[in-house]
């Protein structure tokens, strides 16, 4: 019989972190990871463009939770137990120093995700964690107590190569529909998975031929909803991206899926009201009367974007400020503060596919990350209905959950 003390299903960030921390605390336990792929840690490998965005330099739990569209309330307690500072400390103790970038994202100083992968593989080996690849889980069953003897296991986990038995089971499979189905069979409720963190596809003359242009601080609203976000906005070959859009996609994941990713957004490129902007434009008209409007970009906007908005306002390239009439000033104020764009579809953000959905949060004990339905069944990472905006926050949820699982076990 293939009996383990602890089985972790899923050889990703949360799975390895849980396994290593369990094995380190309890060298006498048999700990095994079952990974369906021929190698693990694939998301770690591609995260942050191959640099691995380990966490985010936010050290206050009540601020950190604001980056989780789903899980904000539930993660507050866990983050008081293990959060950013603990993550930095954990990696540094194992020879991996992290650095903070200007936007708060944290990476290994090597700028290579391989550093994190090597750290996990070495720690797993050091603490005798058994890592079994090509083990795709087909079935999870609760062991039924045998009347003739005391069982030394609580779960039967069936893969294509046979059946494993364990006392405690940790599910760390991320957004895996097959595993969610198996958990449903065990009575857990699964919130339907929809994409989160995606870019918007937009065809519009105002952004045509200017990919790479960044407006540093915009406000974006989804028309006909309460969804709103702010931050940098990047114009791409197919539409728009960067934090202002990605945050909106995360917080709006469920609503935007319902709309089949066809909706309108309103962008305020300068974060001023229409009236305030109009007043500023009148002052500019007075102060720069003889200058060409096209050539004198205002409000710190990139020149290429300014040119597009001038064209959209019906202002000729040769016109001077003094020549602008009331309608043209109003048109320009509208373009700057209330530009409406039609979104028609989405694209995956880099290779980092994140979904909203997973095990219903009401069915998880957030002191231990144990199932409220089945004793000795634990969850870590994105298998539960927690997801975050971009910037290292999804990994921090994985580290925190996995660590608290290891403590509970």
Question: Number of structural domains, the chain?
Answer: 2
Final residue belonging to a domain, choices 332, 348, 364: 348
> Average pLDDT per run of 10 along the chain, which is 409 residues long?
95 98 97 97 93 97 97 98 98 98 97 98 98 98 63 88 96 96 98 93 98 97 97 97 94 96 98 98 97 97 98 97 98 98 89 82 98 98 95 96 97
Same domain, 89 and 129: yes
DSSP state of 387: B
Same domain, 319 and 378: no
Same domain, 237 and 208: yes
Same domain, 63 and 123: yes
Beta bridge partners of 371: 364
What is d(CA 118, CA 116) in angstroms, rounded to the nearest whole number?
5
- pLDDT attached to residue 355: 86
- pLDDT attached to residue 139: 97
What is d(CA 136, CA 34) in angstroms, rounded to the nearest whole number?
8
Residue 229, H or E segment: strand 228-235
- pLDDT attached to residue 293: 98
95-129 per-residue burial string, b: 16 or more CB within 10 A, e: under 16? ebebeeeeeebbbbeeeebebbbebbbebbeebeb
Final residue belonging to a domain, choices 324, 348, 372: 348
Tokens 């539960």 belong to 384
Both structure tokens of 287: 């102060």
Same domain, 126 and 182: yes
Same domain, 283 and 335: yes
Question: The whole model's pTM is what?
Answer: 0.89
Q: Residues 398, 401, 404, 409: what is their CA dihedral angle, to the nearest 10 degrees?
A: -100
Q: At what angle do helices 393-408 and 13-25 cross, to 10 degrees?
A: 30
Residue 8, H or E segment: strand 2-9
Q: Which domain holds residue 124?
A: 2-195+350-408
Final residue belonging to a domain, choices 329, 348, 367: 348
Q: DSSP alpha helices (H): ranges in 163-302? A: 177-185, 243-251, 253-258, 274-287
Both structure tokens of 277: 């902007």
- pLDDT attached to residue 145: 59
Same domain, 301 and 372: no
CA atoms within 13 A on the CB side of 171: 31
Same domain, 160 and 228: no
Same domain, 148 and 275: no
CATH number at residue 13: 3.50.50.60
Same domain, 168 and 203: no
Write the Ramachandran bin of 391: left for phi over 0, alpha for psi from -120 to 50, otherwise beta: left
- pLDDT attached to residue 350: 61
Residue 164, H or E segment: strand 162-171
Give the burial class of 81: count Cβ atoms within 10 A of its Cβ; 0-12 exposed, 13-18 middle, 19 or more buried.
middle
CB 256 within 8 A of CB 249: yes
Give the burial class of 405: count Cβ atoms within 10 A of its Cβ; 0-12 exposed, 13-18 middle, 19 or more buried.
buried
Chain centre to alpha carbon of residue 231? 16
Tokens 């066809």 belong to 262
Same domain, 250 and 339: yes
- pLDDT attached to residue 149: 44
What is d(CA 15, CA 270) in angstroms, rounded to the nearest whole number?
44
Same domain, 284 and 318: yes
- pLDDT attached to residue 268: 98
């Amino acid at each position: 019989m293939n009996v383990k003390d602890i089985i972790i299903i899923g050889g990703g960030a949360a799975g390895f972190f849980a396994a290593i921390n369990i094995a380190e605390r309890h060298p006498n336990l048999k700990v095994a990871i079952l990974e369906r792929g021929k190698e693990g840690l694939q998301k770690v490998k591609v995260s942050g463009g191959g640099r691995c965005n380990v966490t985010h330099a936010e050290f206050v739990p009540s601020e950190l939770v604001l980056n989780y569209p789903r899980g904000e309330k539930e993660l507050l307690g866990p983050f008081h137990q293990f959060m950013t500072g603990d993550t930095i400390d954990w990696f540094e103790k194992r020879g991996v120093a992290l650095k903070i970038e200007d936007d708060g994202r944290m990476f290994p100083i090597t700028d290579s995700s391989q550093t994190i992968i090597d750290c996990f593989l070495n720690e797993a080996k050091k603490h005798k964690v058994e890592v079994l690849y090509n083990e795709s889980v087909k079935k999870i069953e609760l062991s039924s107590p045998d009347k003739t003897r005391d069982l030394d296991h609580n779960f039967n986990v069936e893969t294509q190569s046979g059946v494993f038995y364990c006392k405690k089971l940790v599910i760390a499979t991320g957004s895996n529909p097959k595993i969610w189905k198996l958990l449903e069979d065990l009575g857990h409720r699964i919130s339907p998975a929809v994409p989160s963190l995606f870019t918007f596809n937009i065809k519009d003359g105002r952004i045509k031929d200017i990919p790479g242009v960044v407006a540093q601080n915009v406000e974006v609203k989804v028309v006909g909803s309460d969804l709103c976000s702010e931050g940098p906005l990047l114009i791409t070959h197919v539409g728009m991206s960067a934090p202002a859009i990605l945050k909106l996609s995360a917080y709006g994941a469920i609503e935007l899926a319902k709309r089949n990713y066809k909706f309108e957004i309103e962008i305020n490129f300068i974060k001023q009201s229409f009236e305030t902007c109009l007043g500023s434009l009148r002052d500019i008209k007075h102060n720069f009367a003889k200058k060409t409007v096209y050539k004198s970009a205002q409000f710190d906007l990139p020149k290429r974007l300014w040119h597009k908005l001038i064209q959209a306002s019906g202002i000729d390239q040769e016109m001077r400020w003094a020549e602008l009439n009331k309608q043209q000033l109003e048109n320009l104020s509208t373009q700057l503060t209330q530009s409406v764009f039609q979104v028609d579809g989405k694209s995956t953000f880099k290779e980092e596919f994140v979904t909203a959905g997973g095990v219903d949060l009401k069915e998880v004990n957030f002191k231990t990350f144990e199932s409220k339905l089945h004793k000795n069944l634990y969850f870590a990472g994105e298998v539960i209905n927690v997801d975050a905006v971009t910037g290292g926050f999804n990994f921090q949820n994985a580290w925190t959950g996995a660590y608290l699982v290891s403590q509970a076990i």
